[in-house]
Structure 1
Amino acid sequence: MGTRYSAVFYAPVGQDTSVLHARLFQAVDAVDQQMSTWKPDSALMRLNALPVGEWMEIPDALLWVLSTALRIEHESQGAFDIGVGDLVNAWGFGAGGQSAEVLAANGGQTRHRASAALEIDFSTQRVRKRLPITLDLNGIAKGFGVDQLAHCLEQAGIKHYLVGIDGEMRAAGHKPSGDPWNIAIEKPLRGLREVMGVMELSDASIATSGDYRHWVERDGVLYSHTMDPARGRALHSPLAAVSVVATSCMYADAWATALMVLGPDEGVALAQQRGMDAVFLLRDGDGFKQIAVFDGQVQ
């Protein structure tokens, strides 16, 4: 996934955690081996290279993430779409880097939706492409990886932990002092790292999608690394960031991306409709305007 993971947890005194540390690494590595766009031999990249119409048997985890992604595509009215891999590469955010010629050629083009291009046979755990498509799971795989870290700790009987991958976080229980876990909320400033605030997190996950870490400038306009499936190009939006709080980090990760793509009006409306917990940060002059939705109600 091209990033690092973190895990803070409290185990009983005397418990040997070396095996647990190894299992945490294995859990993240398994996600990377299946879903990375940076590894040519990952299961996802082998699926991308597969000719249209040819079936491929895939691992359990990849099957679950693909099926979840297709469901959220439907629920988000197409705002979350994993079939944007060619756009990600063309705009310079993929493993291959930016190509000015490809970027110009792809500007404004539409792509097949993943739901239209993919066919999944759950009985045989196989998938095939019905139409040409390049898949990219970067909007959901990190969240899934965080959930896998949490699952690994819970299987070992760990009840108090904070795990994360590149800012997507999941927490359970509390610190030994009884204090809740504190999560720093980053101010969405391009090129800078500054804390905007701190929130408490327990028995929940938080994921953020924003335009301030990775972007590209084209004709004087700044575009986010997030792709806009409807317009067939990188996203240009008044939103600086969207954070979603949910039980599952995979769910929060995908929905943060979807709401970012939908923008402040449609995004807030859909968050309300679905009873979500989300915070929208809009650029407002030199500052930011915040719209918070909790349990579907605008605060």
Structure 2
Amino acid sequence: MSYSFFNNFVRLPLFLRVLFIALFTIISFGLFVHLLEPEQFPTLFDGVWWAVITASTVGYGDFVPKTVLGRLAGIGLILTGAGFLATYFVSLATAAVTKQNELLEGKADFKGKNHIIVIGWNERTREILHTLCMKNESISIVLIDESLEKNPLPNMNIHFIQGRSNLDEVLIKANIFHAMKVIITADPNKGELHADMGSILTLLAVKGLNREVPCIVEILTSEQVANAKRAGADEIVQTNILTSFVMINSISSQQLVTSFLGLLNQLDKRNLTFKPAVPEVIDMTFMDLSHMLMKEGILLLGIKRGEETLLNPPHPFTINQQDQLIVIMNE
């Protein structure tokens, strides 16, 4: 029994062990001085109070031993209890600093739920994190990256985990089982094909642990889009297509590109979203529905029907039950 107690005791964190020893020492000295000088310390609490004040070297003087044995007990308490208390506070401060360093260096597990996991660090990731934090300050975000040595945005609500995102132990540290969504960005330090292969490998690892979590994956090469879909990508973002569009059109019309980029900037400040087709709008034409939503301050851009996206479809175009409306809503 005693060996089992000692074995469990030594496994406790250092600051808890020191705290228990300090409390045991203070209570023991408080009981001893109460039994030794009952007139000076009428109750056990008075003795414990004196022991706490003496061990902490405050020394109010409201309770003072009169006998030689009582004063010797005070000396012994100062030599032992004060040391244990000082050690406790040092251990507590060390534990706090260690925990803070673990958080900063990406070594601490994430314990929250319904969070967004963003994988990979680059300028796109920086913009994504800033936008997510600005739109919803209460949302929890976990950043996974192996190239960073510490949290790049320590002043934001971002939990950093350092490690390779295709390893189960790293994804488990990010609590992948309770994540709301995963965003996988391409590694800018690799070639396009190797970056896509790394993104798909990470996607496979994520889906292997949590098949239900929605995953948005950045793919650079067109030939890897099909593989990303097979791996379970819910949304695929082909950033090179957008870059090519801007560069090609800038050759023929700089004004068109400037207007397009300005439009993207405006969309970033508004709520571009999907709305399911409610029963009231089924069988309505796109034009009639557009006029009706415009009265509510909602701009109808197009329709998402299955895998096909139709922007401003030709008239007449009838809304079906499975359609999703692509709309811009004012904040």
Max Rg structure: 2
Select the structure that is richer in strand. 1
Give TM-score scaled by structure 2 length: 0.21
Select the structure that is richer in helix. 2
| Greater RCO (CA < 8 Å, at least 6 residues apart) | 1
Give TM-score scaled by structure 1 length: 0.22
